[in-house]
Chains A and B, each alone.
Chain A
Amino acid sequence: MARRTVDGLMRGGVTHVVGIPDNMSGPLFDEVALHAAIQLVTVTREGEAFAVAAGLWLGGASPIVVIQNTGLLESGDAIRGTAQRMGAPVPVIVTGRGYQKMEQSGVNQDHALTRELLTRPDVDSTALLTEPTFNAWGIPFWRCSAGEDPVAAIARLLDSTQALGIPAALLLTRDLD
């Protein structure tokens, strides 16, 4: 699947993958590292990925950011003040930590964010906060869950982001291996 995904990125004209790997996106990073046609830029903090990507776009490249949703929560002002404020159509793949746990716990993003819910050990609050954060920050997003084809979803993300002219995201809650 990671190989198919990288092929899809190449077909979509992606020149740089910028981000930090996690267990879900690790196979994608490994695969990108094998391809000379796409440059891998590993950063030290997720907010940095958006500034690097904005600079790449400014210089004529076509980057995609790949981060975990924990890193999304860290990235607010970097997204707002660089790619979004510049009107840079930077597509973002956000891997969704905590979604399985959230589903197993029988809760979802529609539940009130009470102290009880946010501190429950069987619920990963990262998943609870991811989609409200996208909405609060004006980042259009789509979800790709188990059973859905990530290659097709990424192709749609690339097209939609170009049309929107601002960063937009694909929330990936399935593995790529």
Chain B
Amino acid sequence: MLTVAQLLGPLARYRTNEAVVTTMSVVRPWGILSDSDLDFASADSAMGHAADLALGLALAQPARKVVCVNGDGSMLMSLGTLATVVGSAAENFILIVCDNGEYEITGNQPVPAAGRLDYSGVADAAGFRVVYRFDDAGAWSTEVPEVLSVKGPTFVHVITESGTQGPIGRSPAEPARYLQHSLSDWSKIMRTALLESPEY
């Protein structure tokens, strides 16, 4: 089982020009590790719609890898998106699901079928080209470069520990820069970076 820090640390270390979409319990921790204009927090948004939004981004930017760090509760809200991803054949899309078995933000209530639903099995059956499952921090850290470089669509099921993240807002007081702006303003910042800064 991984902590969120053990999940996100190696991802931040090996990440280069990938766009990264976060949601729920990883939004703040990722925003502390990363300060890129290519990070997008699906916060103050619509729960369950990080993966499909990230898929759209991947389809618009086929030359760039797009990573979505999703929650299990969020994934369950739009499990059909797995079929949409496979149907779109987005080779540059990496979907990570943090499986801690709970709605952490709202107080750690269990998600349906917590601990029994095999997300990697579902993704494999849905037709993802590459599927990984990690419950060990060392194995994840070793494999991150391959996960980021392999031709997808790629699904990564990570067993994570229960956490204590609370509700996420957007305000200038937030330490993570991508939470200091409104969703609309950050969308402009990120879109501009994607379209006008080839160094990204």
Interface of A toward B, CB cutoff 8 Å = 15-16, 18, 39, 41-45, 47-48, 50-61, 63, 77-78, 80-82, 85-88
The total of chain B residues at the interface (CB under 8 A) is 32
Select B56's contact among A63, A80, A85, A87, beta carbons within 8 Å.
A63
Interface of B toward A, CB cutoff 8 Å = 19, 40, 44-47, 49, 52-61, 78, 80-81, 83-84, 87-88, 183-184, 187-188, 190-191, 194-195
Which A residues are in CB contact (< 8 Å) with B191? 57-60
B61 and A51 contacting across the interface, CB-CB below 8 Å? no
B190 and A44 contacting across the interface, CB-CB below 8 Å? no
**Bound Cα distance A60, B59 (Å):** 10
Which A residues are in CB contact (< 8 Å) with B61? 59-60
Which B residues are in CB contact (< 8 Å) with A15? 60
**Chain B residue with the shortest CB-CB distance to A86:** B187
Interface of B is mostly: helix
Which B residues are in CB contact (< 8 Å) with A61? 56, 59-60
B187 and A58 contacting across the interface, CB-CB below 8 Å? yes
Select B49's contact among A16, A39, A82, beta carbons within 8 Å.
A82
Known: A51-B49, A58-B187, A58-B191. A41 touches B84 (CB 8 A): yes
Least CB distance, A52 to chain B, in whole angstroms:
4
**Bound Cα distance A16, B61 (Å):** 13
Number of A-B pairs, beta carbon distance below 8 Å: 117
**Chain B residue with the shortest CB-CB distance to A80:** B46
A59 and B59 contacting across the interface, CB-CB below 8 Å? yes
B87 and A56 contacting across the interface, CB-CB below 8 Å? no
Known: A48-B81, A55-B56. A85 touches B194 (CB 8 A): no
**Bound Cα distance A81, B77 (Å):** 14
Least CB distance, B197 to chain A, in whole angstroms:
12
Give me the 5 closest cross-chain CB pairs, A-B, nearest first: A55-B56, A81-B46, A59-B60, A44-B80, A51-B49
Known: A78-B46, A85-B44. A60 touches B194 (CB 8 A): yes
Least CB distance, B61 to chain A, in whole angstroms:
4
**Chain A residue with the shortest CB-CB distance to B192:** A60
A-B contact pairs, 12 of them (CB 8 A): A41-B87, A42-B84, A47-B46, A51-B52, A55-B53, A55-B56, A55-B60, A56-B57, A59-B60, A77-B46, A81-B45, A81-B46
Least CB distance, A73 to chain B, in whole angstroms:
16
Known: A82-B45, A85-B44, A86-B184. A42 touches B87 (CB 8 A): yes
Which B residues are in CB contact (< 8 Å) with A44? 80-81, 83-84
Which A residues are in CB contact (< 8 Å) with B54? 55
Select A56's contact among B46, B56, B184, B187, beta carbons within 8 Å.
B56
Which A residues are in CB contact (< 8 Å) with B44? 81, 85
Which A residues are in CB contact (< 8 Å) with B47? 77, 81
Which A residues are in CB contact (< 8 Å) with B45? 81-82, 85-86
